[in-house]
Amino acid sequence: MTTVLVLNGPNLGRLGSREPDVYGNQDLAALRSLLEGEKLGDIDLRQTDDEGELIGWLHEAVDKKLPVILNPAAFTHYSYALRDAVALVTTSGGTVIEVHISNPHAREEFRHNSVISGVATGVIAGFGFNSYVLALHAVGRSAS
């Protein structure tokens, strides 16, 4: 079975207690179980608050040819280094689906711009944890 990297950026390790009105009250362990329940591949779910570590994981996706579901969290809005790492995956034929739990376009103005979307394979936002489930189904239908 394909391994799918499910990469989560800063502050997402606090899901469950972080702004539950925006992000719900389930944590990353619950997200992992939800995705495993889809039985669409092995789920390698990771979270980091560190930009360099997240970039390293995208390099790993290139080297191992692994599809990626990425919630870049706040890096979405300003990290050109992360954008370049996502482009490394997608320009080498790999898949990166950008996901968001909330709909950033319906929130503060600084969240309306994603520097990642232009190099991602696709974007799914606003469906809670189901954004990841929808992305997992999309990965199953994409080339890598």
Does the annotation mark 100 as catalytic?
yes
Looking at the Cβ atoms of 71 and 95, the one nearer to ligand DQA is 71
- Residue 18, SS3? coil
Which residues of the shown chain bind ligand DQA in the complex (CB under 6 A)?
11, 71, 73-74, 76, 100-102, 104, 111
Burial class of residue 12, CB neighbours in 10 A (0-12, 13-18, 19+) = buried
- Name the minimum Å distance from CB 2 to ligand DQA: 24
Looking at the Cβ atoms of 31 and 43, the one nearer to ligand DQA is 31
Can you read off the two tokens belonging to residue 4?
């799918």
- Residue 37, SS3? helix
Does the annotation mark 80 as catalytic?
no
Looking at the Cβ atoms of 83 and 100, the one nearer to ligand DQA is 100
Strand ranges in the chain using DSSP code E only, listed in sequence order: 3-8, 42-47, 68-71, 96-100, 122-125
- Name the minimum Å distance from CB 18 to ligand DQA: 8
Catalytically active residues are: 23, 100
